[in-house]
Amino acid sequence: MIQILRNTEELQAVKYLSLDMLHVVFYKAGELHVNDIHIKVDKPCTLYVKNMDSEKPILHLEDSPLGHTNINVKLQIAGIKIEENMSYNFPMADWTDSRPYPIMLK
């Protein structure tokens, strides 16, 4: 089952309840506040948070086709007391091999 959290010009966010996964597409820098989840990014990107209800969620972050090489992400999940401020440097790459980069949260 899918729960639509936001569907605006700035971002689209859905939670896959059976997969315990959040999927957010930011079309520009912005924030998402939903229940105990707060995500803030400084550039357009796509991110997935897998294993949302576990103690070790996994963030997958994908750069936009605009070619940003650095994205700052702030992620807070209150239910599991995680607050991560991260800056990820993307390699300059050909977009023929575009895929999300997994980032293990502390």
Q: What is the pLDDT of residue 25?
A: 95
What tokens were used for 89? 């440097």
Q: What is the pLDDT of residue 56?
A: 78
Return the SS3 of 9.
Answer: coil
Compute how many other C-beta atoms are within 10 angstroms of the C-beta atom of residue 37: 19
Q: How confident is the model at residue 96 (pLDDT cuts 50, 70, 90)?
A: very low
Beta pairing, strands 70-77 & 37-41: antiparallel
**pLDDT of 30 above 70:** yes
Q: What is the pLDDT of the chain when averaged over all its residues?
A: 78
Q: What is the pLDDT of residue 54?
A: 78
Give the closest residue to 92 by CA, choosing from 67, 73, 71, 72: 67
In this predicted model, what pLDDT tens digit does every residue of 57-69 receive, in sequence order? 888 888 766 655 6
What tokens were used for 1? 């089952």
**Which domains are assigned to the chain?**
2-104 (2.60.220.10)
Q: How confident is the model at residue 86 (pLDDT cuts 50, 70, 90)?
A: low
Q: CB–CB of 3/22 below 8 Å?
A: no
Taking the mean position of all CA atoms in its chain, how far away is CA 39? 7
Degrees (nearest 5) of the Cα angle 34, 14, 55?
65
What percent of the chain clears pLDDT 90, i.e. is strictly above it? 30
For the entire predicted model, the pTM comes to: 0.77
What tokens were used for 56? 């070790």
**pLDDT of 15 above 50:** yes
